[in-house]
Amino acid sequence: MGHRGERRSLTSTPNLPIEGWGVGPPSPRLPLNEVHVWGTTVASKLDVLSRLATTLSGEERARAGRFRDQHARVTFVVGRAALRSILARYLGRDPARVPLARARGGKPFLSGHAAPQFNLAHSGDLVLCAVSGVGEVGIDVEHVRRSLDVELLIRHVLSEQEQHQVASVPAADRARVFLRYWTGKEAILKASGAGLSLPLDALEPLGSTDRSPVSDLPVGPDYVASLAIGSTGFALQRWRWEPEPRMHRPTLARDDAPTALASEWLGPEPT
């Protein structure tokens, strides 16, 4: 969900629950009944940004360079580097050699590999990656912002029944309730590969179908996250992603990281 007109800074969100998640293993096993959710923050990775970028493909670096917004550009780099690093651990290969491809609808997949299934989401300072041994998976996260115009948005993305549900809670809670619906629906669409090509208000109200069960992911008071799985009865593991040790040697000063990155290899700001 976009937040037009807001200045977004590369600052960390304090006290996120993922800070208490254990660091993920270097060679995780993925049983057929498990889903693994990895979390990281963008601001905590600025010191190693240029090294993370070396794991991206040329096409991914070109995509990053086309972002007009600096925060979006850096978030894309961190998110893709995290995704490559995480998948590399399951595949037992170098992150730069993970064979990522995009389906017609834009959903990334592993070329030449039927498993694992995975999905990536980010908002604000938070990046989440779901890896599934159960089947198709979708994940979505949204930063809860005071400027969110819930009254306008619910008319466009919620069913009539869901609109009544949002209206029935105290005004202070409506943004979170609305985003619970939003992230749940978007997670379902991402699991199916449809993205936002289908209108959210056309989906059945959450809970009215078990086609893609949705689970809430607690990620703190400032974020709402949902996970959609095409199966029931799975076990959930949650880990914090940290770059491989060779990525931890600082290569850019924190304050200069975004600017240096843009001029060093992403190119100048698009005009």
pLDDT digits (tens, 9 = 90+) for 1-48: 544 334 456 667 666 888 889 999 999 999 999 999 999 999 999 999
Percent of the chain with pLDDT over 70: 78
Question: For every residue of the chain, which 3-state class applies, written as one string?
Answer: CCCCCCCCCCCCCCCCHHHHCCECCCCCCCCCCEEEEEEEECHHHHHHHHHHHCCCCHHHHHHHHCCCCHHHHHHHHHHHHHHHHHHHHHHCCCHHHCCEEECCCCCEEECCCCCCEEEEEEECCEEEEEEECCCCEEEEEEECCCCCCHHHHHHHHCCHHHHHHHHCCCHHHHHHHHHHHHHHHHHHHHHHCCCCCCCHHHCCCCCCCCCCCEEEECCCCCEEEEEEECCCCCEEEEEECCCCHHHCCCCCCHHHHHHHHHHHHHCCCCC
Please compute the mean of the pLDDT values over residues 176-187 and round it to a whole number. 91
pLDDT for 96 beyond 90: yes
- 161 Ramachandran zone, left/alpha/beta (phi>0; psi -120 to 50): alpha
- Token pair listed for 194: 């449809």
The Cα 41–Cα 47 span in angstroms is 12
CATH topology of domain 30-134+234-244+253-271: Ribosomal Protein L22; Chain A (3.90.470)
* 89 pLDDT more than 90: yes
pLDDT at 195: 55
Residue 119, Cα to own-chain centre: how many angstroms?
A: 7
What is the token pair recorded at 231? 């199966």
Burial class (CB in 10 A: 0-12, 13-18, 19+), 102: exposed
Reported as a single tens digit per residue, the pLDDT across 139-176 is 999 999 877 888 888 888 888 888 888 989 998 889 99
- Confidence at residue 197, expressed as pLDDT on a 0 to 100 scale: 53
Q: Which residues pair with 101 in a beta bridge?
A: 109
pTM of the shown model: 0.84
Residues 107 and 193 sit within 8 Å (Cβ to Cβ): yes
Residue pLDDT, tens place only, 56-75: 999 999 999 999 999 999 99
Q: Is 209's pLDDT higher than 60?
A: no
Q: Which residue has better confidence, 214 or 116?
A: 116
Residues of the chain with CATH 3.90.470.20: 30-134+234-244+253-271, 136-230
Contact between 138 and 213 under an 8 Å Cβ cutoff? The reply is no
Q: Is the pLDDT of residue 258 over 70?
A: no
Predicted confidence at residue 48, as pLDDT, reads: 93
Question: In this structure, are residues 68 and 269 in contact, taking their beta carbons and an 8 Å threshold?
Answer: yes
Measured CA distances, 221 to 17, 116, 175 (Å): 10, 31, 11
Give the model's pLDDT for residue 247.
59
Fold topology of 136-230: Ribosomal Protein L22; Chain A (3.90.470)
Any idea which of 93-97, 104-108, 165-169, 177-181 has the lowest mean pLDDT?
104-108
Contact 5, 69 (CB under 8 A): no
